[in-house]
Chain A
Amino acid sequence: MDNRVVITGLGITSSLGHSLDEVSSALAQGQSNIQLQEDNKQFGFQSLLQAMIPPQNKYKIERRKKRFLSESAIYTALCWLKTVDENNLDPQQFTGPDVGIILGNDSSAQPLEDLVATLQKYKETHFLGSTMVIKVMNSCCSMNLGPLIGAQGINITASANDASGAHALGYAFNLVKSGKQQAIITGGFQELHWIAMASFDALGIFAQSLEPKTACRPFDGERIGTVPGGGGALLVMENLERAQRLGHKIYGEVIGYGFNSGDKSVAQYERCMRKALHNAKIDPNDIDYINANASGIAADNLEAQAIYNVFGPQTFVSSTKSITGHELWMSGASEVLYSLLMMRDGFIAPSLNFQQNNDIPHINIVTETLQRKPRTVLSNTFGLGGTNACIIIREY
């Protein structure tokens, strides 16, 4: 009765690069692009660190379309162009009512800055023009992507702090699995604009260090905070039958989605992972790699304990946030994409800067790249506000 759900297209814009091969190679080499963002000095940021997106000029968005796009919606449009191009997909197959869009995003700060500046200068709303309204909404990514590709099924944005992307994938999975949609374009998007980052900086959760390479230390005893990153990760989810009929390349199968919310605790994290395992109808020992949520903040210890409680000391664990920084709204989607690239190219990316931590039980943290293909992966996302989502993907 349920449909099997597979991922048949990937598109990425991140600090690790603009193509799947570039990003996969940076992950395999543990090559981060974290730098000091000197511009943020003027706003009194406590941390200047940021994972920077390199410039690109291969993909261009036409001026008329760009007028409606915020920073994160530009990442969405670029990711779609890349997805079609890199996976040889026919855009015509993603039009009509059988195809939906569910994206994770939780801010659109850059247009808001323009909006306030314009109103303060001219004191009349009509100076905002007709394109501001769609740029300034949280749903700027999904609302723009719909007309861009012609998909006419569901069109919503999931906003759940840094679990936005993971929940977007979970919702997409459920709708394709239950047959309510044949395909869903899903993913997560994160602007790097300073307004989106300032309130996190205020909490002191970003690493206050002038050493970009060693600042982000997930699970480590000497960790000092995370580092913001961003861009976009787009994934095409389809029911297996449709994917086969259309001859699409299959990156992997989505088999489980677990979620919960509440206090940040070992018990909650554990429950969320078990719910995903139950949903996938598999046992803990079927998982051979965990892409951890850990980002270099205090709660990393809770996750380590929860992983130990469910999986014991053997299962490979790494946090790609040590390489990419914390991609916030995008992270739950990008980390599934990174795991699929590891599956495609046969390696497990390292968790950089982990040395030791006497406050956590022994879990199998991978500190050097492993030449070993992960076949069943759990991707954890434990959002800062206590909203959790675990996704399980399997080799097809």
Chain B
Amino acid sequence: MENLKQELKELIITATNLDDVTVEEIEDDMPLFVEGLGLDSIDALEIVVPLEKKYGVKFDDEKKAKQALFSVQTLADFIIAEGKNG
């Protein structure tokens, strides 16, 4: 779980070019969008695509996707529950 969360933080930083944010600064429960990390819908697409590829999850269900993308913690829970290779 801890390794997965670390991986997810790295992926978020790389996919969205968050040059001025480090892995340590992203807290597990911090909201990723709007407040918290401050990502937007364009960033969401940049994150979702590599997540689908890497962990075999699908973000097709809008309600589920919204819950999963709330924080690093919810994302890790989602991948463990639904991922094919997580």
Contacts and interface: CB of A to CB of B under 8 A. Distances in A.
Interface of A: 63-64, 66-67, 122, 126-127, 129-131
Interface SS of chain A? helix
Interface of B: 16-20, 40, 42, 45-46, 49-50, 53
B41 to A, nearest CB: 9
A131 B53 CA distance: 19
Nearest to A118: B49
A130 B42 contact: yes
B45 A63 contact: no
B49 A129 contact: yes
B62 to A, nearest CB: 16
Given A64-B40, A122-B53, A130 B45 contact: yes
A129 B19 CA distance: 19
Contacts of B45: 129-130
Contacts of B40: 64
A127 B46 CA distance: 8
A67 B16 CA distance: 8
Contact of A63 (B18, B49, B50, B53): B18
Contacts of B19: 63
A66 B19 CA distance: 12
Nearest to A66: B17
B49 A67 contact: no
Given A67-B17, A126-B49, A130-B45, 11 more contacts: A63-B16, A63-B17, A63-B19, A67-B46, A122-B53, A127-B49, A127-B53, A129-B42, A129-B49, A131-B42, A131-B46
Nearest to A127: B49
Nearest to B41: A130
A67 B42 CA distance: 9
A122 B49 CA distance: 10
Contacts of A127: 49-50, 53
A126 to B, nearest CB: 6
Nearest to A63: B17
A122 B35 CA distance: 32
A63 B46 CA distance: 14
Nearest to A64: B40
24 contacts: A63-B16, A63-B17, A63-B18, A63-B19, A63-B20, A64-B40, A64-B42, A66-B17, A67-B17, A67-B42, A67-B46, A122-B53, A126-B49, A127-B49, A127-B50, A127-B53, A129-B42, A129-B45, A129-B46, A129-B49, A130-B42, A130-B45, A131-B42, A131-B46
Contacts of B20: 63
Contacts of A67: 17, 42, 46
Most buried by A among B16, B46, B49: B49
Contacts of A126: 49
Nearest to B38: A64
A298 to B, nearest CB: 44
B40 to A, nearest CB: 7
Of A64, A122, A131, most buried by chain B (CB within 10 Å of CB) is: A64
A64 B20 CA distance: 13
A301 to B, nearest CB: 48
A19 B17 CA distance: 27
Contacts of B53: 122, 127
A297 to B, nearest CB: 39
A126 B53 CA distance: 11
Contacts of A122: 53
A122 to B, nearest CB: 7
A122 B46 CA distance: 14
A129 B16 CA distance: 11
B36 to A, nearest CB: 15
